[in-house]
Structure 1
Amino acid sequence: MLNLKVGGVPEHFNYPWYITLKNKEYTKKGINLRWTDYPGGTGQMTKALRNGDVDIAIVLTEGIIKDIINGNPSKIIQTFVKSPLIWGIHVGAKSTFKTISDLEHATVAISRFGSGSHLMAIVNAYNQGWDISKLKFKVIDNLEGGIEALTNGEADYFMWEHFTTKPLVDNGTFRRVGDCPTPWPCFVIAVREEVLENHPQEVKKVLDIINNCTKDFKNIENIDKTLSIRYEQQLEDIQEWLSITEWNDGKPMTKNLLTRIQNKMVNFNVIEKKINSSELIRNL
């Protein structure tokens, strides 16, 4: 039995992993797969990949590309969610800021440098035509830290996945002033190179199992109600999220796609330089 550690954010995107683990599908293939929640997001996971604390991570595309360029010994093996991620732009309930344009000189809360909340703040600034070099950041670790920072005035706005933060908008903790979709597929599966070298067949089995689950995920009976209860979200919000979310159908990541994403990331000043896209991926 091979032990493998997988991690991802504790959000609705990753519920297929819960289903397949609950059904012991990996155990049946001789793999002891253990899941770890990473509420700190992609920045926390890229660090865990570097340290060997996790073998497989479901991470934001922009975050892992940037970290592999910066020396993370991992490879992207496929897209996990191929639709964009909708990043809500939030301010505290009592904030005087009303629109995205009001936030040009404000302090943005980010979970970590190199995280999605950091990189997408740069993308949003680029979209708004702001001077990216003048962005001010406050590191807050995770969503709970973002709530605290916006409530007590340590930061002015915070970008996090639209539907995950919707309950906080509904209960008056946050106000959403706008959205910023990722201009690329949002989640990829990354694996440490050491694991890919030593256990490629087992990693391929993991992919086959999860892809088989996501293929029919939307057709699972009452999946909208299940997700609504588990993630404490309004049923209509989950239904909207399901309608706009597309998982990968098992196709490998292509060099052309990664080159296009890198071009955009350079354009947005999210990365300084590109590398050969073949250095980012490993297709099994």
Structure 2
Amino acid sequence: MTELKVGGVPEHFNYPWYLTLKNKEYTKENINLRWNNFPGGTGEMCKALRSGEVDIAIVLTEGIIKDIANGNPSKIVQIFVKSPLIWGVHVGEKSTFKSIKELEHGTIAISRFGSGSHLMAIVNAFNQGWDIASLKFKVVGNLQGGIDALTTGTADYFMWEHFTTKPLVDQGVFRRIEDCLTPWPCFVIAVRNEVLEQHPEAVSRILDIINRKTSTFKNIENIDEILAVRYEQKLEDIQKWLKITTWSDGKPITKNSITSIQKKMLRFNVIKEIKNSAAFVKKI
């Protein structure tokens, strides 16, 4: 039995993993795959890949590209969700900020440096024409940390996935100022190099299983109702999310795609240089 650990955010995007694990589909292939939740997001998962706490991670594209460029010993094996991620720009409900332009000099709550909330704050600033070098950040750890920071006023705004934070907007905890879309496919699957070398066949079987599940995921009976209950979302919000979300067809991410994303990240000042795309990807 091959022992492997996979990690991801505890959000609706990863429910296909829950289903395949619940059905013991990996066990049938002689793989003991264990799931780890990472509420801190991509920055937390990049750290876990580096330490060996997880072997496989479902991470934000921009975060893992930046971290591999900085020495993370992992490779991207495929896109997981190829549609963009919608990042809500949130302030506290009682905040005096009313428009995006008012946030230019505000303090930004981020889960950690190198996380999606950090990198997309830079992308948003670029889109607004702000001075990226003057951005001020406060590390808050996770979504709850963002709630605390905006509620107490220790940060002015916080960016997190639109639908995950929608209940907080409905409850009056957050107020959404605007949305910002990722200019690339949002989630990829990354695997530690050591695992790719030692267990390539197991990784291949895992990808086959999850890709089969995501290819039919939207056709599962009452999936919208199941997700709404599990993730405490309004049914109409889940239905909208399902309509706009597209999972991968299982094809590996190309070197040309990595180069294209790197060029955008360089323009946004998220990375300092473009590196050889072969360093980022592994075809399984």
Shorter-chain TM-score tier: over 0.9
Partners of 1:275 and 1:75 in 2: CA distance: 14
User: Aligned partners of 1:283 and 1:103: how far apart in 2?
Assistant: 42
Query: Match of 1:30?
Result: 30
Could you tell me how far 1:175 is from its partner in structure 2? 0.1
Is 1:133 aligned to residue 133 of structure 2?
yes
Which residue identity lines up with residue 172 of structure 2 in the other structure?
G
Structure 1 position 64, deviation (Å): 0.2
* Residue of structure 1 in register with 2:209 after alignment: 209
Instruction: Give how far 1:156 is off.
Output: 0.2
Give the structure-2-normalised TM-score.
Answer: 1.00
Matched with 1:96 is 96
CA drift at 1:105 = 0.3
Aligned to 2:276: 276
- Displacement after TM superposition at 1:269 (Å): 0.2
What's the counterpart of residue 181 of structure 2? Answer: 181
The amino acid of 1:181's aligned partner reads L
Query: Normalising to structure 1: TM-score of the pair?
Result: 1.00
SS of match in other structure, 2:7: strand
Q: Deviation string for 1:34-83 (max 9, x for gaps)? A: 00000000000000000000000000000000000000000000000000
CA apart distance, 1:274: 1.1
| Equivalent pairs, count | 284
User: 1:271 deviation in Å?
Assistant: 0.3
Paired residue for 1:85?
A: 85
* Cα distance in 2, alignment partners of residues 274 and 206 from structure 1: 31
Aligned-partner Cα distance in 2 for 1:74–1:45:
12
Letter in 1 for 2:132: I
Which residues of 2 match residues 155-174 of structure 1 at below 5 A? 155-174=155-174
The alpha carbon displacement at 1:253 in A equals 0.6
User: How many Å separate the matches in 2 of 1:254 and 1:160?
Assistant: 27
Where 2:183 maps in the other structure, the secondary structure is coil
What CA distance in whole angstroms lies between the structure 2 residues aligned with 1:220 and 1:277?
37
**Distance in 2 between the 1:194 and 1:204 partners?**
15
1:37 counterpart letter in structure 2:
N
Shift of 1:98: 0.5
Residues 1:117 and 2:106 are matched in the alignment: no
Match of 1:243 in 2: 243
**What is the alpha-carbon distance in structure 2 between the residues aligned to residue 66 and residue 163 of structure 1?**
25
1:2 maps to: 2
Q: Which amino acid counterpart does residue 5 of structure 1 have in structure 2? A: K
Deviations along 1:77-103, whole A, 9 cap, x unmatched? 000000000000000000000011110
Deviation at 1:279, TM superposition (A): 0.7
Structure 1 ranges of 4+ moved more than 4 A: none
Could you tell me how far apart the structure 1 residues matched to 2:241 and 2:65 are? 25
Letter in 2 for 1:14: N
Amino acid at match of 1:94: K
**Structure 1: runs of 5 or more not aligned:** none
- The SS at the match of 1:216 is helix
CA distance in 1, matches of 2:221, 2:249: 20
- For 1:232 and 1:21, the matched residues in 2 are separated by 21
1: CA distance between counterparts of 2:139 and 2:242?
31
SS in 2 for 1:101: helix
> 2:222 & 2:271 partners in 1: Cα distance?
42
Cα distance in 1 for residues equivalent to 2:260 and 2:6: 28
What is the CA–CA distance in structure 2 between the aligned matches of 1:251 and 1:46, rounded to whole Å? Answer: 23
Alignment of 1:12 with 2:24, yes or no, is no
